[in-house]
Chains A and B, each alone.
Chain A
Amino acid sequence: MIKVSMKVNGKPVSAEVEARTLLVTYIRENLRLTGTHVGCDTAQCGACTVLMNGRAIKSCSIVAMQAEGADLMTIEGVAKADGTLHPMQQAFKENHGLQCGFCTPGMVMNALDFAKSHPNPTEQEVRESLEGNLCRCTGYHNIVKSIMAGARAMGGKL
């Protein structure tokens, strides 16, 4: 067992885990932050996307040890402390960018990273940014609209 420490949603955390523990398992099982989901075992669906040091990564694709000392943000850390939704979350709500809600955390986390560098993206740019995130409910139509609106609301700032 190895002690792995990092900052998650602004708070220092640590847990003793087996070396083979995936980051997503560490987040879900050790930290009990279950908003980050697992939808596949081939790094295709993107439901497990989190921000690591500001960049969107698939937390199923690295082991927890690789995130030692990192600064992580999961979906639980996106809204304001008082519960107010972040502009990207609000955009998903207003544009009906989610149905079953399972892929949604990954979609939002990926969109946050994308929107930092794309304050006014085109539909094409948004679709390209979603190549690593699968949704089976929405046909992507309203996700694309949500991210376009959310990115504009963010104005390039997280």
Chain B
Amino acid sequence: MNAPASSSVLGARLTRKEDYRFLTGTGQFTDDVALSNQSYAVFVRSPHAHAKIKSIKTDKAKSAKGVLAVYTGEDLANAKVGGLPCGWLITGTDGKPMKEPPFPPLAQGKVRHVGERVAVVIAETLAQARDAADKVKVDYEELPAVVDLTKARKASAIHDIAPDNTCYVWALGDKAATDAAFAKAAHVTKLEFWNNRLVPNAIEPRSANATYSRAGDEYTLYVASQNPHVERLLMTAFVLGLPESKVRVVAPDVGGGFGSKIYLYGEDVVVTWAAKQLNRAVKWTADRSESYVSDAHGRDHLTVAELALDKDGKFLAMRVKTTANLGAYLSTFASCIPTILYATLLAGQYTTPLIYCEVTAVFTNTTPVDAYRGAGRPEATYVVERLVETAAREMKIDPLEIRRRNFIREFPYQTPVALCYDTGNYEATLDAALQLADVKNFGKRKDESAKRGKLRGIGYACYIEACGIAPSNVAGSLGARAGLFEAGEIRVHPTGTVTVFTGSHSHGQGHETTFAQVVADRLGLPMENVEVVHGDTSKILFGMGTYGSRSIAVGGTAIVKALDKIVAKGKKIAAHLLEASESDVEYDRGEFKVAGTDRKKTFGEVAFAAYVPHNYPLDKLEPGLNENAFYDPTNFTFPAGSYVCEVEVDKDTGNTQIVSFTAVDDFGKIINPMIVEGQVHGGLAQGIGQALTEGCRYESSGQLVTGSFMDYCIPRSSDVPLFKIDTRETPCTHNPLGVKGCGEAGAIGAPAAVMNAITDALGVKDVPMPATAQTVWKHLQEKSHARV
């Protein structure tokens, strides 16, 4: 769509620049990349959850047709390939650093979860590699496995470094003061629940294709990644010991991430290392079955949560004890999810003055667990909003009224769990949601459902999110081992068109459109004159990538900072061309003007002068018009919203249908409402998936029993309704766009809203997630034992 060159670009519902290639099959995902001299890798994976590797026989595989090489952990160790690093150091309540066991890219001596990489077979064709992988014979001695996080601490050790399988015990808040408040409370609500383990399931499976050039001693890795620079940094500095300048990482079109493509995975390391050994391009693409056992999983918390209230329903204190399952190894950001991104969110939208949270993180013989859409914040919201709704029911206070009695109303607000909310207006989103959901007529709808033999329930969730984790120095003091800024570059071409380079990465979020809107608006250029480039370390100066709904708030701000420099330099050039004082030059929608006169130069004329500097202040100013900026935010942003879910439960089958879902979010300023709505839809579907259909299960021996789309049910079109959504706008106070972020909200708020609705329909205190038909039916039968 051609947009006018004016400020109306910002906030406009423009269709996306990236759509054409995806709609015509001309996108380029990693597996679509075919390199010259291509070979194919297949990984041999552990069939056992916990076993000693007694021997690996590779002879038959090595002599099989088409096979180029077979490598094992021993080969990597001999080549001094390091282990996969963890990006966040958590310090425990005992003052000691967390236990960081080695995480070799290919197993060494022992396997610790089903699906762990044991060997790699590389052949001329994929079929040959598959055939040969079957010929690798591994002799295992099985060891007892533990998958249940409640049994982890007493199970046999998975890693020598952690004899009690505990990575850390960590706490936040004032325990003594919290306990004292509970002792004086008029009412205490207590819940114990499992925040179910989820498998991210981006529809594009992970893929990596590496090539090596002897001419330049250079590597290029195409990889389905959310953050190519972070991938390169971790791989070169910690694993392969290579200069970053010799490694180019390209994350081309990436088919969804949801967190699962943030991390440095062993497969990426192995194909990159092997590309040099073989002097060939080496490609690996996961089967979905491999994705289930090798993509980092999400959630998996067992929590006991308590809320202390006075007689009027005012929250006095919250006490939370969580055991978090980290899986068999520490994935890249695993350690900060159940701590820094979880406990700090437990104030929610409320003035609860005292909060104490203790987290025990354990290793089990399961796939590593890391950030999945929301990452800690859905778990926190589930704790807060299930407690609040349950407390209201127990105290016979309207669940909306109890929220209103406790809303934070004055900003900035310092919570007792470290965060300081800059702004918000929680009542506004709640009021809007109640109206949009037509809550006042819920009773009529409930009666109508009852006539059809259905149980109708309504549930609410008022969530808070923290996006754009920052600032770097504070995060560093809390254990972060990476910076949390973003970089952007604006390259103005001689004809006045613009290429924007961003360190953020788009894998569905539509940055090529949204970021272009920001630039087109600021510079007053037509949309078609602005191109956005991302995902290639050889083009973009640096970047931390996309996670935690940070792209517009952090990446967008870096772009704005670079734009400010472009305009500042443009004014100097224009002042020269117009023979005016620089201080008299103004920039307005594509034109540099001398204030109070009709003398002006267009953006294109100034750009041309910068590159053809014949009439140019060469003594004072460099030619060219290209600027970059790094932006490190001063605080998180704090999106918030109110969700209303209505369900109908079939009494005979336990089948639960979401009949209505309303979401009103406050994302601050919105650049493209169409794209933002799409983000909310997708988040809601994933949140509804967690509540109703998705539950990752291991049997006690450590076999994953939900290892395909047939056993692990991501929502299908019939599982979700058309959503009713709207927004309210309280601009962020500390970034120039006033933006907050919207990518994870739906997944954060939806589970609690759905489960509050189901427990309302059933009249029971709690139902575990996922509330499958079988689970709900069982609770209907047991209702007499669990009535509120």
From A94, A102, A142, A144, B204 is in contact (CB under 8 Å) with: A102
Interface locus among A51-59, A62-70, A73-81, A113-121: A73-81
User: Which residues on the B side are within 8 Å of A42 (C-beta)?
Assistant: 288, 708-710
Contact with A along B672-704 (1 / 0, CB 8 A): 001101100111111000000000000000000
User: Which residues on the B side are within 8 Å of A16 (C-beta)?
Assistant: none
Interface residues of A in 29-68 (CB under 8 A from B): 32-42, 44-45, 47
Interface locus among B17-25, B168-176, B237-245: B17-25
In the complex, what's the smallest C-beta–C-beta distance from A28 to chain B, in angstroms?
A: 8
State the majority secondary structure of interface residues on B.
Answer: loop
Interface residues of B in 363-412 (CB under 8 A from A): none
13 A-B residue pairs with CB within 8 Å: A34-B29, A37-B203, A40-B288, A41-B289, A42-B288, A74-B25, A76-B24, A85-B20, A96-B15, A96-B675, A130-B717, A140-B685, A141-B678
In the complex, what's the smallest C-beta–C-beta distance from B515 to chain A, in angstroms?
A: 16
Bound CA–CA A85/B723 (angstroms) = 28
A39-B203, A96-B15, A130-B716 known; A138-B287 Cβ under 8 A: no
In the complex, what's the smallest C-beta–C-beta distance from B275 to chain A, in angstroms?
A: 20
* Contact status B717-A144, CB under 8 Å: yes
State the majority secondary structure of interface residues on A.
Answer: loop
* Contact status B682-A34, CB under 8 Å: no
Q: Which residue of B lies closest to A94 (CB)?
A: B15
User: Which residues on the A side are within 8 Å of B254 (C-beta)?
Assistant: 100
* Contact status A93-B16, CB under 8 Å: yes
From B26, B258, B285, B717, A127 is in contact (CB under 8 Å) with: B717
From A34, A74, A102, B256 is in contact (CB under 8 Å) with: A102
Bound CA–CA A39/B290 (angstroms) = 12
From B21, B22, B681, A139 is in contact (CB under 8 Å) with: B681
* Contact status A93-B19, CB under 8 Å: yes
User: Which residues on the B side are within 8 Å of A20 (C-beta)?
Assistant: 127
User: Which residues on the B side are within 8 Å of A144 (C-beta)?
Assistant: 717, 722
Question: At the interface, yes or no: B424 with Cβ under 8 Å from chain A?
Answer: no
Question: At the interface, yes or no: A136 with Cβ under 8 Å from chain B?
Answer: yes
Number of A-B contacts (CB under 8 A): 177
A76-B26, A89-B24, A136-B256 known; A99-B717 Cβ under 8 A: no
In the complex, what's the smallest C-beta–C-beta distance from A63 to chain B, in angstroms?
A: 13
* Contact status A139-B684, CB under 8 Å: yes
* Contact status B509-A128, CB under 8 Å: no
* Contact status A137-B682, CB under 8 Å: yes
In the complex, what's the smallest C-beta–C-beta distance from A114 to chain B, in angstroms?
A: 12
From B19, B508, B709, A40 is in contact (CB under 8 Å) with: B709
Question: At the interface, yes or no: B768 with Cβ under 8 Å from chain A?
Answer: no
Question: At the interface, yes or no: B510 with Cβ under 8 Å from chain A?
Answer: yes
Interface residues of A in 76-117 (CB under 8 A from B): 76, 78-79, 83, 85, 89, 92-94, 96, 98-105, 108
User: Which residues on the A side are within 8 Å of B23 (C-beta)?
Assistant: 75, 79, 85, 89, 92-93, 98, 101, 104, 108
* Contact status B720-A139, CB under 8 Å: yes
User: Which residues on the A side are within 8 Å of B313 (C-beta)?
Assistant: none
* Contact status B718-A127, CB under 8 Å: yes
In the complex, what's the smallest C-beta–C-beta distance from B199 to chain A, in angstroms?
A: 11
* Contact status A101-B289, CB under 8 Å: no
Show the binding face of A for B, using Cβ within 8 Å. 18, 20, 28, 32-42, 44-45, 47, 74-76, 78-79, 83, 85, 89, 92-94, 96, 98-105, 108, 123, 126-128, 130-131, 133-144
From A18, A78, A100, A143, B717 is in contact (CB under 8 Å) with: A143
Of the four ranges (under 10, 10 to 19, 20 to 34, 35 or more), the interface on chain B belongs to: 35 or more
User: Which residues on the A side are within 8 Å of B253 (C-beta)?
Assistant: 100-101
User: Which residues on the B side are within 8 Å of A103 (C-beta)?
Assistant: 203, 255
* Contact status A104-B717, CB under 8 Å: no
Contact with A along B16-53 (1 / 0, CB 8 A): 10111111111111011010000000000000000000
* Contact status B681-A142, CB under 8 Å: yes
User: Which residues on the B side are within 8 Å of A105 (C-beta)?
Assistant: 22, 25
Given A39-B204, A42-B288, A140-B720; 4 other pairs, CB 8 A cutoff? A47-B203, A75-B25, A130-B717, A137-B508
User: Which residues on the B side are within 8 Å of A89 (C-beta)?
Assistant: 23-24
* Contact status A101-B678, CB under 8 Å: no
* Contact status A102-B203, CB under 8 Å: yes
* Contact status B127-A18, CB under 8 Å: yes
Bound CA–CA A96/B28 (angstroms) = 20
Bound CA–CA A79/B24 (angstroms) = 7
User: Which residues on the A side are within 8 Å of B685 (C-beta)?
Assistant: 138-141
In the complex, what's the smallest C-beta–C-beta distance from A108 to chain B, in angstroms?
A: 7
A20-B127, A96-B675, A136-B258 known; A101-B722 Cβ under 8 A: no
Of all A-B residue pairs in the complex, the 4 with the closest CB atoms, nearest first, are: A35-B25, A101-B22, A102-B255, A139-B685
* Contact status A78-B708, CB under 8 Å: no
A33-B25, A100-B254 known; A134-B203 Cβ under 8 A: yes
* Contact status A99-B508, CB under 8 Å: yes
* Contact status A100-B202, CB under 8 Å: yes
Q: Which residue of B lies closest to A145 (CB)?
A: B722
* Contact status B678-A100, CB under 8 Å: no
Bound CA–CA A81/B509 (angstroms) = 29
* Contact status A78-B24, CB under 8 Å: yes
Contact with A along B197-220 (1 / 0, CB 8 A): 000011111000000000000000
Question: At the interface, yes or no: B714 with Cβ under 8 Å from chain A?
Answer: yes
Bound CA–CA A78/B746 (angstroms) = 34
User: Which residues on the A side are within 8 Å of B117 (C-beta)?
Assistant: none
Bound CA–CA A139/B258 (angstroms) = 13
User: Which residues on the A side are within 8 Å of B708 (C-beta)?
Assistant: 40-42, 44
* Contact status B718-A128, CB under 8 Å: yes
* Contact status A98-B25, CB under 8 Å: no
Bound CA–CA A78/B635 (angstroms) = 47
Bound CA–CA A32/B507 (angstroms) = 23
A75-B25, A134-B714, A139-B682 known; A93-B722 Cβ under 8 A: no
* Contact status B288-A41, CB under 8 Å: yes
Bound CA–CA A34/B254 (angstroms) = 14
User: Which residues on the B side are within 8 Å of A37 (C-beta)?
Assistant: 29, 203-204, 255
Contact with A along B242-265 (1 / 0, CB 8 A): 000000000001111010000000
From B26, B34, B678, A35 is in contact (CB under 8 Å) with: B26
* Contact status A39-B682, CB under 8 Å: no
Contact with A along B440-457 (1 / 0, CB 8 A): 000000000000000000
User: Which residues on the A side are within 8 Å of B720 (C-beta)?
Assistant: 139-141
* Contact status A93-B15, CB under 8 Å: yes
In the complex, what's the smallest C-beta–C-beta distance from A66 to chain B, in angstroms?
A: 18
User: Which residues on the B side are within 8 Å of A96 (C-beta)?
Assistant: 15-16, 674-675, 677-678
* Contact status B25-A131, CB under 8 Å: no
User: Which residues on the B side are within 8 Å of A75 (C-beta)?
Assistant: 23-25
* Contact status B24-A85, CB under 8 Å: yes
Interface residues of B in 640-698 (CB under 8 A from A): 674-675, 677-678, 681-686
In the complex, what's the smallest C-beta–C-beta distance from A125 to chain B, in angstroms?
A: 11
- With most chain B CB atoms within 10 A of its CB, the pick from A42, A79, A140 is A140
User: Which residues on the A side are within 8 Å of B678 (C-beta)?
Assistant: 96, 99, 137-138, 141-142
A96-B15, A99-B682, A101-B18 known; A39-B27 Cβ under 8 A: no
User: Which residues on the B side are within 8 Å of A83 (C-beta)?
Assistant: 24
In the complex, what's the smallest C-beta–C-beta distance from A36 to chain B, in angstroms?
A: 7
User: Which residues on the A side are within 8 Å of B32 (C-beta)?
Assistant: 28, 34
